[in-house]
């Protein structure tokens, strides 16, 4: 079985869903993980399970809209484990609905979490990666940015903005120091629907997740695959969706 032994990985949005599954899988394969999320009770429960399984983990309350929280997460990883090899920018919300609803607050929230949160992560980890002369940004985007559909316009825009940032960073970083990977999941059985305010739309998305959505562990395997490659191998993008998804 492939291993991530001796790698140090920080993960945002790690209290549930893809972030939690990634933390558990990487710790099981030998990585030391620094996990961040807003829901500290659930974060600590994940950490307790990892410790009971013999894994190395630290936690840090992390709201990705606050730059200082990302700095604290990165600093915690370095202080505890000596360095940081990978930052998994995973936290995200989905305030989806027709653009004509003019949900300006929802738009702003998605921009703050989905885009600004990733930029905060890059800003926090980049100085560490530069000092180490090595680092890897893994970022969760979405198939919503690959196939534009009604009700997801602004959500898709935030994900495609992140895709553009990571591609620019890749082209700026061909000196062999940085690797960048975007993971584009389709329907996954997570709690992402909980951020949808429209009840009918939330029920529709939840039904898709429950009926044919992937287990979060499938996406975690994709993250692990990208991380586990030799440093001179960069997995630029992985699209992972249910075989029945349009």
Active site residues: 155
* Distance of alpha carbon 116 from alpha carbon 67, whole angstroms: 9
Residues in the chain: 246
Helix (H) or strand (E) run with residue 158 in it: helix 153-172
In whole angstroms, how far apart are CA 185 and each of 36, 48, 52?
21, 27, 30
Nearest Cα neighbor of 57 from 66, 191, 122, 37 is 37
Strands 237-240 and 86-89: unpaired
* Number of Cα atoms under 13 Å in the Cβ half of residue 57: 28
Q: Is the dihedral of CA 90, 227, 76, 134 positive or negative?
A: negative
Sheet of 8-11, strand order: 56-61, 32-37, 8-11, 86-89, 135-140, 178-185, 237-240
What 3-state DSSP class applies to 179?
strand
Helix (H) or strand (E) run with residue 178 in it: strand 178-185
């Amino acid at each position: 079985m492939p291993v991530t032994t001796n790698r140090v990985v920080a993960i945002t949005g790690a209290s549930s869903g893809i972030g939690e599954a990634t933390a558990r899988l990487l710790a099981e394969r030998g990585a030391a993980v620094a996990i961040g999320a807003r829901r500290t009770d659930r974060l600590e429960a994940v950490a307790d399970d990892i410790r009971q399984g013999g894994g190395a983990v630290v936690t840090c309350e992390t709201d990705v809209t606050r730059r200082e929280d990302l700095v604290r997460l990165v600093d915690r990883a370095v202080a505890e484990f000596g360095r940081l090899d990978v930052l998994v920018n995973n936290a995200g919300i989905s305030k989806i609905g027709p653009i004509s609803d003019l949900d300006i607050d929802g738009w702003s929230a998605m921009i703050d979490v989905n885009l600004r949160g990733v930029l905060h992560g890059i800003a926090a980890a980049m100085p560490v990666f530069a000092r180490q002369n090595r680092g890897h940004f893994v970022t969760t985007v979405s198939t919503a940015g690959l196939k534009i559909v009604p009700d997801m316009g602004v959500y898709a825009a935030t994900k495609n903005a992140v895709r553009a940032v990571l591609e620019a960073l890749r082209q700026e970083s061909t000196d062999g120091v940085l690797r960048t990977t975007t993971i584009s999941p389709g329907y996954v059985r997570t709690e992402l629907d909980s951020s949808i305010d429209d009840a009918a739309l939330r029920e529709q998305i939840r039904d898709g997740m429950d009926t044919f959505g992937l287990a979060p562990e499938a996406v975690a395997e994709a993250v692990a695959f990208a991380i586990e490659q030799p440093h001179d191998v960069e997995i630029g993008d992985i699209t992972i969706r249910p075989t029945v998804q349009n």
